[in-house]
Amino acid sequence: MAKKKKRRGAPQGVDPNEKRRERLEARRQAKAEAVAAQRRAQKRERVVRWLVIAAILLGTYWILFVRGAAPDDFGGHTVEHFSTAGAGDHTGEVVDYESNPPVSGAHSGQVGACGTHATDIPDGEEVHLLEHGAIGLLYQPTHDEAEIGELEEIVASFDAHTFSAPDEDMDTPIAVTAWSHKMDLDSVDEAAIRDFIEEFRAGGDAPEAFQECPNIAEESFIQIIEEEPTPVPSEEAPSDGEGNN
């Protein structure tokens, strides 16, 4: 006759209800910890959100009440203010700029060099320079040579964040430019130009004024003109009836 299998019971001294209670308690603790972690994360998110809002409000307050608006003139010369749009917007397309010369907007991914230039800087590269906090001293190539030399000397007196170049498409003899600001001049006013530079150089509204821009370009527009050969007039052939029989 086959023996009946004995049913296994709980080990002696162990209460099955106690084990069940321990498992339930462990699950409750895990759930409570998960809820607490979620609440901590939500609290951190709220703190970060309020910090961001506070930073925006503080920045707005600084711009409106502490820094103040950009000056409207230097030495009686009007400073025009333009849109600051286009920061960091690089393009290879031709851009229809708001001003001439341009002072903001989409621009080339290439950036020109600070310093003195003997030839025109492409608009897109020039705007990129302004985005880096550089100040442009631009002039019509037909402008008075002595005054062009003065502009180059002003640029050379700084070690960074200034540049000069001819621009034959300008409507005025001289234009002093910064990111989103422009001052037109009929002639050199060194005091006004230096005040403009002091206000906006490596700062102002330039979105990337932290970028380095040492004055490494050392071409002189005046030197190029002086080195150009003087054209020799061609001899005219004698006309009929003059010295001919």
pLDDT at position 62 is 53
Size of the chain, expressed as the number of residues it contains: 245
Structure tokens at 243: 């010295």
Which residue in the block uniquely carries the two structure tokens 């749009």? 85
Residue 244's identity, in one-letter code, is N
Comparing CA positions, the residue from 207, 173, 175, 215 lying closest to residue 192 is: 175
In this structure, the number of other CB atoms found within 10 A of the CB of residue 28 comes to 10
With contact defined as beta carbons under 8 Å apart, do 144 and 169 qualify?
A: no
Q: How far apart are CA 20 and CA 127, in angstroms?
A: 73
**Nearest partner of 178 among 63, 42, 80, judged by Cα:** 80
Domain extents in the chain:
18-68, 73-227
The series of mean pLDDT values per 10 residues for the chain, 245 residues long, is 54 69 83 86 85 71 59 97 94 95 96 96 97 98 97 98 97 97 98 98 95 97 74 55 46
